[in-house]
Amino acid sequence: MSAVLVIGATRGLGASLVRRFAATGNSVVYGTSRSSTVPTGFPEHVKWLSAIDLMKSSVGDDIVKYFVDSKPLSTVIITAGHFSTEDISAEKGPNWDAELQMYTTSSVAPVFIVHRLVHAGLLAQGSKVVLVSSEAGSIGLRHEKEGGGNYAHHASKSALNMVGKLLSLDLKERGVIVSIVHPGFMRTEMTKGVGYDKYWDAGGAVTPDEAASSLIKWTDELDISKSGEYWAPRGPRDIGTAAETLGTNLKTPLHLPW
């Protein structure tokens, strides 16, 4: 039986991934939680890694300590993130602490997590690491109609894209696959919390369950030929600048520009 680890598993996309993996009965499913208590509302057989905080430098070791004499994981999906809005105005502007949180969560912590998993023998030939990025991290997709602002959220996703590319090069000889994905524009508390719910209908936003379904299908079919690449498994349907930057008649899945 394969083993799956979802990092950032208690809400949004992460929670949907845990439930869907658990429902198949084909995998031992592990999920991380920042809380020291076991989350409720999930299948009983999910194995929880409690008190996992991506803002701590010990995050990699904190995860690895839960796996004693374990076989390598088949899939690791890092979906944890943070989004605080910023702009150039004098009234609001950027926020130092919020920027540190966004960069650390999105693009610093994954390096330490993957590093410790590798050296604990938890990532080996055929293991898959999926880094949940966003189309917001694509410089090529950025278009003037969407304007500026949201510096750290978008740039931290660009940084994650580079992290994924570099990890794929480092792990190629070990046979570990690294995939960087835009899972879709989702109807989550995070996007609602920054006011993006006003774009849900026009932007084709999907539920976390829908995004999880397409992401699991993508992961199941993933092989080494796509390692280190940046893809949208759901295609261009919810990428607002796809037509302006990439043209029409685009394929699904869609290979995204950096």
Phi, psi of 210 (to 5 degrees): -65, -45
Q: What's the domain count of the chain?
A: 1
CA distance 230 to 255: 6
- 151 — pLDDT class (breaks 50, 70, 90): very high
Residues of the domain holding 25: 2-255
Tell me what the pLDDT averaged over the chain comes to.
94
CA distances from 68 to 9, 13, 64 (A): 21, 27, 8
Query: For the domain that residue 244 is a member of, what is the CATH number?
Result: 3.40.50.720
Top pLDDT among 206 and 19 is at: 19
Segment among 51-55, 108-112, 114-118, 204-208 with least mean pLDDT: 204-208
Give the pLDDT confidence score for residue 199 in this predicted structure. Answer: 64
Is the model's pLDDT at 6 over the cut of 70?
yes
Average pLDDT over residues 104-129: 98
